[in-house]
Amino acid sequence: MEKVEAATARPASPLTERQEARRRRILRASAQLAGRGGFDAVQMREVAESSQVALGTLYRYFPSKVHLLVATMQDQLEHMHGTLRKKPPAGRTPAERVAETLMRAFRALQREPHLADAMVRALTFADRSVSPEVDQVSRQTTAIILDAMGQEHPTPAQLSAVRVIEHTWHSALITWLSGRASIAQVKIDIETACRLIDLTEPEAP
């Protein structure tokens, strides 16, 4: 039976080079297992075996499967962010660039539907104990959106718009994964939410 909770102690930050390598192996194993069979395929014992770490060590890094899969989502978004920076969006306006960026990220997840489903389910199941990992996902998504906007110092109004766009993107993922929305509908919803950016542009002095 899958262990639900374990000791909440985690490796001290920053991690040593060896600890970071171990953490990356764990995240890679998690993504591979989820990619093959979704949420239910990610069993902590199998993750430990695949990443060549002791089960107790795995639980020190990630106290539960939900912690692990939310961290896996943050890792996947970080990888996407690096890819997007190499080929920035080409839209004329910030709204167009953000919509293009989020659809590229969405299509990357679309190529791995089992993995996407596992990560989104973990985010949905996350309780307060997973707040640090959920916050990391939110910060990574915000960074991706602000980069697309070309905005290093957003105003409070712009940050509010970004939060609404994040919520829309997350909801679009859920409705698509559940078969309740087509890719075309997802695109329309994301583009509609991104128009909020135009409404929060600071007026020229």
CA distances from 182 to 35, 82, 174 (A): 21, 27, 11
What is the phi-psi region of residue 110: left when phi exceeds 0, alpha when psi lies from -120 to 50, beta otherwise? alpha
Give CA–CA dist 131/8, Å, rounded: 13
Residue matched to tokens 């489903």: 117
Quick one: tokens of 101? 């960026």
Consecutive sets of 10 residues in the chain, 205 residues long: mean pLDDT of each? 38 76 96 96 97 95 96 95 91 94 92 95 94 94 95 93 96 93 94 94 62
Give CA–CA dist 151/189, Å, rounded: 22
The pLDDT value recorded for residue 15 is: 79
The pLDDT value recorded for residue 171 is: 94
The pLDDT value recorded for residue 181 is: 93
The pLDDT value recorded for residue 12 is: 47
The pLDDT value recorded for residue 14 is: 80
The pLDDT value recorded for residue 61 is: 95
Q: Phi then psi for 4, rounded to 5 degrees?
A: -90, -40
The pLDDT value recorded for residue 188 is: 96
The pLDDT value recorded for residue 4 is: 37
CA distances from 99 to 8, 20, 114, 118, 149 (A): 38, 33, 24, 24, 10
CA distances from 75 to 24, 149, 164 (A): 9, 22, 22
